């Protein structure tokens, strides 16, 4: 019987997406409390992203939106969220899958999340499989990088 490892990275990724979904659901129901506001960066190339053609032309790879003073029609489901935002007095609906998210920041409480792209991880894996050694391994043989330690202490009150 083949043993498979525990995919902690994938589990954490899904848990953090769930946290964002919970936050957005609360905002959809009750509005933004106090000084809270969000900067959300997402990959506009993700197949589930729905946005106006002129916005996609202006932001062909990545876009950061701000949910703060004016937003409308915020809805959240298991796959992502929709929101209407104002771009130069032109309200535009957006559909953003959680898998397209790159960053989620609430600067009012110094909270932020960054999601690494799966593509870059896949490319790294392919390099390893091809036997391309780039000399980045540490002297003790443990690979460098690939993981990130997030210190949460600074966001605690």
Cβ 121 vs Cβ 130: under 8 Å: no
pLDDT value for 1? 54
pLDDT value for 24? 95
pLDDT tens profile 90-122: 899 999 999 999 999 999 898 999 987 655 444
pLDDT value for 87? 87
Handedness of CA 57, 63, 64, 69 (dihedral sign): positive
Closest Cα to residue 98, out of 4, 24, 3, 8? 24
Name the average pLDDT for the chain: 80
Residue 74 pLDDT greater than 90, yes or no: yes
Percent of the chain with pLDDT over 90: 52
Closest Cα to residue 12, out of 111, 149, 124, 109? 149
Q: For residue 17, what is the DSSP state?
A: H
Percent of the chain with pLDDT over 70: 72
pLDDT value for 129? 47
């Amino acid at each position: 019987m083949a043993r498979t490892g525990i995919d902690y990275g994938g589990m954490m990724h899904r848990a953090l997406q769930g946290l964002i979904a919970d936050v957005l659901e609360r905002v959809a129901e009750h509005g933004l409390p106090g000084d809270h506001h969000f900067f959300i960066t997402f990959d506009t190339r993700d197949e589930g992203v729905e946005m106006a053609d002129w916005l996609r032309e202006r932001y062909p790879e990545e876009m950061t939106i701000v949910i703060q003073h004016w937003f409308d029609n915020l809805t959240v489901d298991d796959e992502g969220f929709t929101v209407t935002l104002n771009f130069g007095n032109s309200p535009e609906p957006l559909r953003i899958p959680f898998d397209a998210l790159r960053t989620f920041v609430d600067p009012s409480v110094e909270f932020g999340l960054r999601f690494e792209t799966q593509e870059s991880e896949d490319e790294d894996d392919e390099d390893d499989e091809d036997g391309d050694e780039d000399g980045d391994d540490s002297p003790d043989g443990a690979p460098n990088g690939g993981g990130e330690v997030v210190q949460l202490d600074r966001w605690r009150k």
